[in-house]
Amino acid sequence: MTAIYIDNVKKRYGSLQALGGISLKIGAGEFFGLLGPNGAGKTTSIGKLAKYFQSQGLSVMLAAGDTFRAAAREQLETWGQRNGVSVIAGSDDPAAVAFDAVQAAKARGIDVLIADTAGRLPTQLHLMEEVKKKQSISLSEVKEILGKVDVEEMDQIQRWTFDYVSKFVSIDPKDAKEMKKQLMKDCDLTEEEAVEIVNIRPTSLAELRSFTFGWKKLILAETLEKMLKIIKGH
């Protein structure tokens, strides 16, 4: 079901065309990302969208997660003041701002939360690295985390994710965490590689060799044997 529909939104500052026309559809319970490099008009779009959502009777909150561009936070706060919308800011860590905003939006019963983050170009290596700031966890761990949420309080994405991982999980989350640690320590795997092994759990050297064939590094036969021993030990 379409919850939000925007068609050809534009914005000009005198002769400057800040927005050339935005059209989008967002379903109920969906997360939607508005992507673009520096200066593309993302923050301006946020201000216009906030005003539009308010005109539709929805409550709105903004999160000032662009801690890189000069005056980005102040720009978003100006849009918030114009529209009478709360703006969550205060931290230099974009992930922390987003987390705080989600918690605040849930606590206040906000209908729409829009988070502003820094535009990124491939040449801005420090910002590209920031995107990677995540932890890889196994399906068992995902199920464990979502299992602590009351079913009635889950949003649509959480419900779908919980149902999906429940079909494939065949290992206790505690064992999954321990297996991941062992694979990283004893077999020199990255966290992402270890999680892949935990999720798939190959049962033979042939399966393991076939699965790791697509990795961009050579896995020695001795290492494959160690990996299989760890898998069978859990």
pLDDT for res 228: 93
Per-residue pLDDT, averaged over 4-17, amounts to 78
pLDDT beyond 80 at 19: no
pLDDT for res 216: 78
pLDDT for res 123: 60
pLDDT beyond 80 at 58: yes
pLDDT for res 131: 54
Q: What's the pTM value of the predicted model, to 2 decimals? A: 0.51
CA torsion through residues 114, 33, 109, 95, sign: negative
Who contacts 128 (Cβ-Cβ below 8 Å, separation ≥6)?
Answer: 120, 122
- Structural domains in the chain? 2-131 (3.40.50.300), 139-168 (no CATH), 173-232 (1.10.150)
The answer to whether the beta carbons of residues 190 and 134 sit under 8 Å apart is no
d(CA 182, CA 230): 7
pLDDT for res 197: 92
pLDDT in tens, 106-148: 889 998 898 887 765 556 555 556 555 566 788 898 888 888 8
d(CA 156, CA 159): 5
Instruction: Please tell me the least confidently modeled range out of 91-100, 131-140, 158-167, 195-204.
Output: 131-140
DSSP of the chain, one letter per residue? -EEEEEEEEEEEETTEEEEEEEEEEEETT--------TTSSHHHHHHHHHHHHHHTT--EEEEEE--SSTTHHHHHHHHHHHHT-EEE---S-HHHHHHHHHHHHHHHT-SEEEEEE----TT-HHHHHHHT------HHHHHHHHHTS-GGG--HHHHHHHHHHHHH--S-HHHHHHHHHHHHHHH---HHHHHHHHHH---SHHHHHHHHTTSSS---HHHHHHHHHHHHT-
Q: Give the residue, 4 or 163, on which the prediction is more confident.
A: 163
With b meaning 16 or more CB within 10 Å and e meaning fewer, what string describes 142-161?
bbbebeeeeeeebeeeeeeb
Per-residue pLDDT, averaged over 54-81, amounts to 83
pLDDT beyond 80 at 34: no
Model confidence at 75, in pLDDT bands (50, 70, 90)? confident
pLDDT for res 184: 93
86 — alpha (psi -120 to 50), left (phi > 0) or beta? Answer: beta
Who contacts 142 (Cβ-Cβ below 8 Å, separation ≥6)?
Answer: 161, 165
Who contacts 184 (Cβ-Cβ below 8 Å, separation ≥6)?
Answer: 190, 191, 194
pLDDT for res 162: 86
pLDDT in tens, 153-185: 777 777 888 888 888 888 888 999 999 999 999
Instruction: Please tell me the least confidently modeled range out of 38-47, 53-62, 126-135, 175-184.
Output: 126-135
Q: Give the residue, 49 or 72, on which the prediction is more confident.
A: 49
